[in-house]
Amino acid sequence: MKPEDSQNQDTSKGKHLHKAALILARGGSKGIPLKNIKVLAGVPLIGWVLRAALDTELLDSVWVSTDHDEIERVAKLWGAQVIRRSPEVSKDSSSSLDTIQEFLKLRPEVDIVCHIQATSPCLHPYHIMEALKMILEEGYNYVFAAVRRYQFRWTQMKKEEGKDPVPLNININKRPRRQDWPGEICENGSFYFSKREILENGFKECGRTAYYEMLPEHSVDIDVDIDWPVAQERVLRFGYFGRDKPGEFKLLLCSVSGCLTDGQIFTSVSGEEMVSTHTRDLIAIRMLQSENIEVILISSSEDPIPKALAEKLAQRAGCTLRHGVERKQPEVEHLLKERGLQWRDVAFLGTDMQDVECLSNAGLSGVPPHAPAAAVIAAKYTCHSPAGHGALWEFADHVLLLKKKATSKADEERIDRINF
């Protein structure tokens, strides 16, 4: 038996322990409608935790429990298995425990449930791995995610009762400095891991319990709309982007029809054909070029935009055009060979079926909203802005953010976590 195999064995029963990640994603969020699939930094919110779970080697399966068709569609696009919850556990009054117990009845093979919250986009595979090992190797039955907080707590003031607030965790005569105080451990809501029997008995007997402490920069929980822009900035810096690390991109390729334009061709009374572009997208091209990222427009042989019109568009954008390409992947590989680059150096914004191979291979790939399912699956980023109306600007901004992230990794090690 391999050393890692011993972690998967129940020594008392001599069987493999099935470890399942479970994300509960009900469609009836009251704070933010369909919050679980709202796009955060180019990725559906649930996609961030699914990406981390699917890249965790110790897990045997990754499930999403939902009552909503669109959440099911998105979860499957991101590689999860889906279980439809019953109406009985889809009510506003239904608890997470009710839903998990229903899951266990339907999945008798599961021994350990890794209940992960969809609203924790800064989760990484190593968080899951290390917490899971606390159950597999250290003998704990229940492990939850926590963060160290440095906040002084008081009782609630009730004026109608004439009661003043009372300090709960400090002596106000000896108020400690933050650096001299260990703080307090608080649940951060990222995940709750448990053996099957603990969940089946409704936590009546938990046995050995432990917390897994996460750093504050990874403890992001989205509950209300005002959290969204803050979370977006946080996830761009501290989120998990997959096994491939963000790189310093040297080349950006953009499909003409359906990315730089919205795919429409207008015909004037005189018969002249025209397309529309967004000024921000043209500015984005110059912005990338100023950061030494070459931009090339590319169109397939099936693109309805005539060559003369595409050339005029490229001239206005100030970049190179590859028009009428029969197969995009060999064309891109030829471009890379000419420039001494590799796929990881490429950012690719595409939309049609011929783009899928390039979207899969590129170091960073993006699609406009409403792209075909195959393209969405292959891409790492889904734009919020429509094609021809700011999609390239948004994708270019993301490219530059990741480039900055790659070149400023050392800054993360200098975070003042006590005062975070």
Q: How confident is the model at residue 45 (pLDDT cuts 50, 70, 90)?
A: very high
Q: Which residue has the tokens 């499930």?
A: 63
Top pLDDT among 108 and 223 is at: 108
41 vs 155: which has the higher pLDDT = 155
Distance, CA of 180 to chain centre: 36
Please provide the average confidence, as pLDDT, over all residues in the chain: 86
Q: Do residues 383 and 367 make contact, with C-beta atoms less than 8 angstroms apart?
A: yes
* Dihedral pair phi/psi, residue 196, rounded to 5°: -55, -45
What pLDDT is recorded for position 376?
87
Reported as a single tens digit per residue, the pLDDT across 340-396 is: 999 989 999 999 888 999 999 999 999 999 888 888 888 889 998 999 899 999 999
pTM of the complete model: 0.75
Going by C-alpha positions, the residue among 95, 92, 123 that lies closest to residue 191 is 123
- Bigger pLDDT: 247 vs 355: 355
pLDDT greater at residue 9 or residue 65: 65
The helix (run of H) or strand (run of E) holding residue 65 is strand 61-66
User: Strand 381-382 to strand 364-367: parallel, antiparallel, or no bridges (unpaired)?
Assistant: parallel
Residue 175 falls in the annotated catalytic set: yes
Q: How confident is the model at residue 408 (pLDDT cuts 50, 70, 90)?
A: low
pLDDT (0 to 100) of residue 254: 95
């000896």: which residue's tokens? 174
| Through-space distance between the first and last CA atoms of the chain, rounded to whole angstroms | 44
Q: Which of 175, 286, 316, 339 is catalytic?
A: 175
Dihedral angle computed from the Cα positions of residues 92, 96, 97 and 101, in that order, rounded to the nearest 10 degrees: 90
Query: What distance in Å separates the CA atoms of residue 372 and residue 356, rounded to the nearest whole number?
Result: 10
Q: Quick one: pLDDT at residue 273?
A: 72
Query: What pLDDT score was predicted for residue 144?
Result: 97
Model pLDDT, residue 262: 84
> Tokens 């921000």 belong to which residue?
280
- pLDDT of 31 > 80? The answer is no
pLDDT at 258 over 80: yes
Q: Are 368 and 330 in contact (CB under 8 A)?
A: no
SS3 content of the chain, % helix, strand, coil (to 5): 40, 20, 40
pLDDT-derived band at 10 (thresholds 50, 70, 90) equals low
* pLDDT range class, residue 301, cuts 50, 70, 90: confident
The DSSP H or E segment spanning 364 is: strand 364-367
**b/e 18-54 (16+ beta carbons within 10 angstroms → b):** bbbbbbbbbbebeebebbbbbebbbbbbbbbbbbbbe
**DSSP letter, residue 210:** E
- pLDDT of 63 reads 98
